[in-house]
Structure 1
Amino acid sequence: MPETPNPPTRRPLRFGAVAPFTTDLPTWTDSLRSLADSGYSTVLMPDTPQWQPAPGPALAVAGSVTGLRVGTWVYACPVRPPWMTAWEAHSLSVLTEGRFEMGIGTGRPGIADQLRDLGIPVDSSRSRSDQVRDVIVALRELDGTDRHTPVVMAVSGPRAQALAAELADTVTFVMPQLETRAETTRRVRQFDNSRDLELALHVPVVGDGVAPFMAGPDTDAAAVRAADSLAHLPSDPAAATDEILRRREELGFSHFVLGADVAGPLAQVVADLAGK
């Protein structure tokens, strides 16, 4: 596939934080307020059944506590019927007065084992991609003509990329954490971004810290850093600032998604760069 000939639009930077509920309620809500004070635009919740509260209710609380945008990072489409996912997404868009973004994908690695544990049939990857389409189509029907809930698609293979090129508002690339900068650059530049979609970058590793729910428990931060992977940002503020600006200029990434548990060293970076 030829590389995209035209560079993407240079968008203002924005930052999202994956903030799973892993403590008591007061501690979690305090952490959300801290994110808001640091310049984050969006509080994001993973879709991990039985590990934490369901994303819908948690995001409704997060939206009321912070006034920030909220979103799923990301709905695993095989876990629930497509129409139910669309209904929840539309409801969150209504209840937050348009501050909800529906992140969706076909499921994290190991989704087949999770589905078996939940007693849900394990479909092919093609069927799961069709389910994503069904969710988005149902969401658009529920939104009607007066509302447009933004859709963020997590994509890997060509089928998912083609669907995102057709229907998504924002795209994030599912990539091996040890993928080199050169390999990721090739992946991004081969994506058909003729609709000039927003590009988001999932960054689970900051310095030596690995964000839970964003990377596997066996992730080696040193190996990720040594690979020059875009899954890593340095914890030094000046170096992180340079990297964020470089990734926007070279590849078009303008939405950076970090883990709330490891992003503390970059709080000032986020505050300084958000919206610029």
Structure 2
Amino acid sequence: SAGSDTDQVIIPNIPMIAAMAKLKNSSSLIKIALLSILQVFNQKPFVKLSVKKILWGYHNPLIKLGNDILPRDERFPFDKFGILIGKNGSTSGKFKIHSGVDNLSNLGEIMSFRGKDKLDVWSGDQCNAIRGTDGTIFPPGFAKNKTLYVFSPDLCQSLPLVFEKEIITNDIPGYRYIPPSNVFSGPAKNPRNKCFCDEKNKCMAQDGLMNISPCQYNSPIIISWPHFYQANPNLLNEVEGLNPESRKTSVLHRHSTETRKWLARR
């Protein structure tokens, strides 16, 4: 970006929205109390902040209040709120991976994450399965039509990548992998995604969007590929300036067909 991290941007007040979403099914008395708290803390639906604060954190009194009264396993693990807080070089958890010593085809495969061989976030074993690698290394010599999996702790799921086409970058031949078009589709188009939905975590009505609230401290977080790539075209009508091109917005892997080394990842 050509902008500065001091640029001021207006964004939704995510801590406020998260608090309201968490208590949406509470009694009227609790809701009235929450409204009083929001007024005392001068909370508004939108806030104007610098890009630096949005990304790396700013103090919001709702974070401290939540961490004071919520059960330990539901608390936000920082005293500030930021989109990328805790991501600047810090680990998201300990991985145990295959070394490939006994079987090179298992090189980089994740055996466990944070001491567990599967997640306990979603309503089904398939969605909770930890598959593939962390995206930094893959086993050599696989067939290009093999589906690859990259586990993302931030999304609490393993994302598939499929071969798109052969490419040449700086005279080096390789493969380009992209996510299948139904990765973020509802169960009607992708039955495998059914276990990402339940009574509390509703499936999205539009293809190309996924509700990952259970993965993000039950905050109302919905994800898509950049620029609504592979999403319902109707979504593009709601936002100006989007350009959902595969080359620019997809998850991208380039693999040298000669050296079997992974050259790039986006």
TM-score by length of 2: 0.23
Higher relative contact order (CA 8 A, sep 6+): 1
Q: Which has the higher helix share?
A: 1
- Computing the radius of gyration from Cα coordinates, the structure with the larger value is 2
TM superposition score normalised by structure 1: 0.23
